[in-house]
Amino acid sequence: MEPSNTDVPIINTQCNVFATDNQGNPNQRVQIFNYLLNLATDYWTWLLHRVVELKSHCFRPISNIKLTLTADASSLEGISQTRGWRTAAVRCMEFHPTTSLMALLTNRDIVLLHDEKKNSPTRLKSIQQKDVTCAAFRPWSDFRELAVGCAAGICLWRENQRSNMKHNIRNMTGSHQLRVLQDEGHNYVTSIQWNEDGTILISAALGTSHIILWEPDCQQKITLIPAPDSLSSFSLLRYSPNFQILFCASCEAGASLCQLNRSKWMSEQILMHNHIQAAIWTTCSTFLLFVQEGSTRIYSCTDDAEAGVFLHPKPLWSVELVADLEEVTTCSGHKRCCGQPQAFAMDPLGVYMAIIFKKQSFILLCYLVDSKLGSVRLIPIEFIECDAEGEQYPTCIGFKVSDLEIRWLMIAWSTGYIQRFAITAKKSQIS
């Protein structure tokens, strides 16, 4: 490869004539040798510099990407699913998939584990657990493990095998043991998701533009970059209920739908503009419902291919309007101005969906209806108010199913009050 004229270092092209006598002059020979040596050194330095530049363009180092985005607690306020994340008494609630255990993350960076079999909650606290943002129970775990995203990385709490023993043991660390999963720059974790069998934990963080697949049992990790040309970090990860597709929303703008396993990573960018404020899958894994920041409109995204996602080289993703929540009238005739959504919660049985708004003190409860034409609709049915005294607004919500007939919508209000709203499951007959 020949260097271009613009990249060649400036070299004096004037010919230097060295006159020698018959015996030769040693000083002149030394001058010629030094001149040629300096010329060769300059060219070699230039060549090495060009090789380094070419290598940086062709082989981008995954682990050394530096972001221009500032990773700190103030950045979490704008992208969090929690309304008023900084001041909210409860920042996140998570439910165990097979037991009655519920985890509440507080603004004091304490995790409260509520068990119906115990009168008081278990407190999980560590000096490393700061600026908590999200949590996820590990499925199929005998020790009721809980992953908590925070500024340091991921705090992985595991129930102590000896916690049920009555006598004291010197080396016990309370009811739970703590491991911290960390990677350089992967701080201020924004979202975490377990895979189907609980062997892999997926995380996104403000400090990096890549997603990490952690394998806690074998202490390994895999770094993935869905968009190598982008230096934006990710604010939201959402695994489809069938664990075939991972939705990745950027902190800045756009989102991707990705097929993910240990051997390959395939992604398709479906949304190019605006930041995604909230997104959630239907329980059938057919529709992804989402709303963009600053909008009152909820859209659905689905794949038109009947044979399955990513079976074809380029799946055809379609986006359709589901509802505009600027003004909402429930089936009982009540009408209110709702505005921009803050977060969604999906009923595990796929019958109901609840919505928190950015500037309203109530929650909207809707029926979720799949039509025969391959689309989804939301039918507003009720506005839910706080049943405690004083002015409060909801900060986070989640569904808890006790049986097939009754489920509970758990609501955390701004003061820390937890409300249990009972819902009797009735399949919607609207088509």
Task: Kindly write down the DSSP assignment for every residue of 142-160, as one continuous string.
Answer: TT--EEEE-SSSEEEEEE-
Q: Kindly state the tokens that stand for 341.
A: 């959504």
Q: Which residues pair with 136 in a beta bridge?
A: 147
Residue 35 sits in the same domain as residue 76: no
**CB environment 225-242: b (16+ within 10 A), e (fewer):** bbbeebebbbbbbbbbbe
Provide, for the chain, the percentages of residues in helix, strand and coil under a 3-state DSSP scheme, each rounded to the nearest 5: 10, 40, 50
**CA-CA-CA-CA dihedral for 337, 343, 348, 354, to nearest 10:** -10
Per the structure, how many domains does the chain have? 3
User: Given CA atoms 181, 185, 187, 191 in this order, what sign does their dihedral have?
Assistant: negative
User: Is residue 320 in some structural domain?
Assistant: yes
H/E stretch holding 355 reads: strand 352-357
Residue 280 sits in the same domain as residue 420: yes
Within 8 A by CB and 6+ apart from 327, the residues are 335, 336, 337, 338
User: Is residue 49 in some structural domain?
Assistant: yes
Residue 139 sits in the same domain as residue 246: yes
CATH number assigned to the domain comprising residue 238 = 2.130.10.10
SS3 314: coil
Within 8 A by CB and 6+ apart from 118, the residues are none
Residue 337 sits in the same domain as residue 347: yes
Among 421, 273, 246, 416, smallest CA distance to 347 is for 421
Alpha-carbon distance of 256 to 223, in angstroms, equals: 17
User: Is residue 9 in some structural domain?
Assistant: no
Residue 229 sits in the same domain as residue 126: yes
- Which residue, of 224, 243, 273, is where some domain finishes? 273
Residue 231: what residue type?
Answer: L
Residue 314 sits in the same domain as residue 375: yes
Residue 322: what residue type?
Answer: V
First vs last C-alpha separation in the chain:
67
**Range of the structural domain that residue 206 is part of:** 69-273
Residue 274: what residue type?
Answer: N
In this structure, are residues 357 and 339 in contact, taking their beta carbons and an 8 Å threshold? yes
Within 8 A by CB and 6+ apart from 287, the residues are 281, 300, 301, 302, 370, 376
Task: Kindly list the distances between the CA atom of residue 404 and the CA atoms of 114, 351, 401, 423, in Å, as whole numbers in the listed order.
Answer: 22, 11, 7, 11
Alpha-carbon distance of 274 to 255, in angstroms, equals: 9
Residue 266 sits in the same domain as residue 401: no
Residue 167 sits in the same domain as residue 243: yes
Alpha-carbon distance of 153 to 180, in angstroms, equals: 7
- Which residue, of 239, 273, 307, is where some domain finishes? 273
SS3 107: coil
User: Is residue 7 in some structural domain?
Assistant: no
Alpha-carbon distance of 237 to 205, in angstroms, equals: 10
Residue 264 sits in the same domain as residue 278: no
User: Is residue 266 in some structural domain?
Assistant: yes
Residue 275: what residue type?
Answer: H
In this structure, are residues 317 and 268 in contact, taking their beta carbons and an 8 Å threshold? yes
User: Is residue 6 in some structural domain?
Assistant: no
User: Is residue 10 in some structural domain?
Assistant: no
CA 190-80-111 angle, to 5 degrees, is 70
Residue 283: what residue type?
Answer: T
- Which residue, of 59, 79, 95, is where some domain finishes? 59
User: Is residue 195 in some structural domain?
Assistant: yes
Q: What is the pLDDT of residue 72?
A: 79
Q: How many helices (H) and strands (E) does the chain have?
A: 2, 29
Residue 229 sits in the same domain as residue 278: no
Cα-trace Rg, the chain: 29
Among 230, 202, 235, 237, smallest CA distance to 67 is for 230
CB burial of residue 101 (10 Å; 0-12, 13-18, 19+): buried
Alpha-carbon distance of 246 to 255, in angstroms, equals: 10
Torsional class of 52: left (φ above 0), alpha (ψ -120 to 50), beta (otherwise): alpha
Residue 50 sits in the same domain as residue 136: no
The one-digit pLDDT tens for each residue of the chain (431 residues) are 444 443 323 223 333 333 333 444 556 777 777 777 777 776 776 676 665 555 443 433 333 333 434 677 888 888 999 999 999 999 999 999 888 899 999 999 999 999 888 889 999 999 999 999 999 999 998 888 999 999 999 999 999 865 454 433 333 346 889 999 999 889 999 999 999 999 999 999 998 888 999 999 998 998 876 654 566 899 999 999 999 899 999 998 888 888 766 555 666 677 777 899 999 999 999 999 999 999 999 999 987 655 444 444 455 678 899 999 999 999 888 999 999 999 999 998 889 999 999 999 999 999 999 866 678 999 999 999 999 988 999 999 999 877 767 889 999 999 999 999 999 865 443 33
Residue 94 sits in the same domain as residue 129: yes
